[in-house]
Structure 1
Amino acid sequence: MEQVFVSAGAIDPRFRALVLVATFGSLRWGELAALRRKHVDLEGRTVRVVASTTELKDGSITVGPPKSAAGLRTVTLPFVVNSELRAHLDAYTGSDDEAFVFVGAKGAMLRRPTFSRTWAKALKAAGLSGFHFHDLRHTGNKFASQSGRRCGS
């Protein structure tokens, strides 16, 4: 769990909430990239997962349903993550309900190759090696099972 907070502290502030939501919401990369403002309920501390992105070989990105029916879900976030997400929405997300929650530095949809460079830089700064972005989801699932919370599908 310590690696989560170390990596979140080392990454560009634009992506701190992404790391925390990935972990404590047990969301996949594509689910995070497809998350829209209208799917975030700050008062209820929930995020509805209703879509996922897929990056195609030609470089295009498609948005569709999660990879399984079980992927359609609502997850509850801890208070600390909810406050980080609130700050993120205020600083980085457009005000329109259709706005993507997590976008790149120029406001474009998140792309895995671009983010991977930022992630690698953060891990190097934090002195972490061998820690992959998908490990955040596994960490979140483990935390959820230990706390009795429903794991992400």
Structure 2
Amino acid sequence: MATFGSLRWGKLAALRRKNVDFEARTVRVVASTTELKDGSVPVGPPKSAAGVRTVALPEIVIAELRAHLDEYTDDHDDAFVFVGAKGAILRRPAFSRIWARALKAAALSGFHFHDLRHTGNKCAVQSGATLRELMNRMATRLRGPC
């Protein structure tokens, strides 16, 4: 979802079951998390209005997402899609350890989670996405005329 949905870490961590529409093959991004120094992880709106959006996903991602929800996500609308090992909100330090093991197993180094977003955007460009489509995909705004 980070690659094909161009979603940042905080948007993925805040995604809830009710934001997934399997029939439309979309997820609705309406919240984000921020991990604070005191260890709390508040969930709130994205930093800008552009961050609230509906993201279309390819069928292969939807199929994997459906399987993920069936296996790991509680069966109520407010359940987080991605959770930690004990079912609580996903926390970056815990995920970072898993990410590091996965990179090692794949013999990759210097690869960051956010690079998935860039990879997806590059694939979109190579598939013929316009600048406007990329902006919508990444939830960015251009300054000036376009």
- TM-score, normalised to structure 2's length? 0.88
Q: Which amino acid aligns with 1:145?
A: V
- How big is the shift at 1:143? 1.7
Is residue 133 from structure 1 mapped to residue 113 from structure 2 by the alignment?
yes
Structure number with the higher helix fraction is 1
Pairwise CA RMSD: 1.0
Cα distance between partner residues in 1 of 2:77 and 2:120: 27
- Name segments (4+ residues, structure 1) moved above 4 Å: none
Q: Which runs of 5+ in 2 are unaligned?
A: 140-146
26, 38, 51: which one aligns with 2:18: 38
The structure number with the bigger radius of gyration is: 2
Q: Any idea what the Cα deviations from partners look like across 1:74-100, whole Å, max 9, x if unmatched?
A: 110011111000100100011100000
Q: Which amino acid aligns with 2:110?
A: G
1:72 paired residue number? 52
What number of residue pairs does the alignment pair up?
133
- TM-score, normalised to structure 1's length? 0.84
2:84 paired residue number? 104
1:13 paired residue number? none
Cα distance between partner residues in 1 of 2:85 and 2:42: 20
Q: Which amino acid aligns with 1:152?
A: M
1:123 paired residue number? 103
Q: Which runs of 5+ in 1 are unaligned?
A: 1-20
